[in-house]
Amino acid sequence: MSKNWPLWEIFVRSKNGLEHRHFGSLHASDAEMALENARDVYTRRSEGVSIWVVESSNITASNPEHNGELFEPAQDKVYRHPTFYDLPDEVKHM
């Protein structure tokens, strides 16, 4: 029969106070096994205190070919940054 184990993306929180970060991926038959394998593959040296696993097929990613229309509009909106505004040096605490 041979059905391949699906791919899972692994996110690890290195310590409390930090966000979960993408560490890599692995194959497992279900979420529980993905967690157990992620522990062995990605946290052998105390790299984490919490693990999330997400089946890769559930992730929707943006297409780099559309990066122009997605991200470029932000570049000409410099007024979103504090340095855009001219203030005299005498103004303090701002």
CA distances from 41 to 5, 9, 54, 73, 92 (A): 16, 12, 16, 40, 52
CA distance 31 to 60: 19
- Compute the least distance from the CB of residue 70 to another protein, in Å: 13
Told to check if 41 binds another protein by CB under 8 A, we report yes
- Compute the least distance from the CB of residue 85 to another protein, in Å: 32
Site string for another protein, 51-80 (x = CB under 8 A): ----------x-xxx---------------
Residue whose pair of structure tokens reads 């000409």 in the numeric block: 76
- Compute the least distance from the CB of residue 58 to another protein, in Å: 14
